[in-house]
Amino acid sequence: MANSTSPATRPGVLQSLERARNCEENDEDRTILEDAVTELWRTVQSQPDTYVFTPDEFALFNYFIARFQGSLVARGAVTRFWDNYRGNGSSLG
């Protein structure tokens, strides 16, 4: 399960994600997002059958979803997120 040290909750990650979604990102944003999704993916891989994304983690992961196309681990993580989703708990508007 996700915890308070999630890469998606680190300072700047959600702001960088919002700028990227609006096609306003810069090199620093790309670096922040790449580092965060890489760390999040490592966490998912360490708990491939049980990890459940928080809404903010899912937002980050979903931005990069094409990268994980064909991965059964990714598919399972996305399924678990939706199976456990309970409304808008995201920090994003």
Domain membership flag for residue 1: no
Domain membership flag for residue 92: no
Q: What is the pLDDT of residues 10-33, one digit of tens each?
A: 889 999 999 999 999 899 999 999
Average pLDDT of the residues in 72-78: 98
Q: Which residue has the higher pLDDT, 54 or 93?
A: 54
Please give the tally of structural domains in the chain. 1
Average pLDDT of the residues in 54-64: 96
Q: Can you give the residue range of the structural domain that contains 73? A: 11-84
Give the per-residue pLDDT at 91. Answer: 55
Q: 64: exposed, middle or buried (C-beta count within 10 Å: 0-12, 13-18, 19+)?
A: middle
Average pLDDT of the residues in 34-47: 97
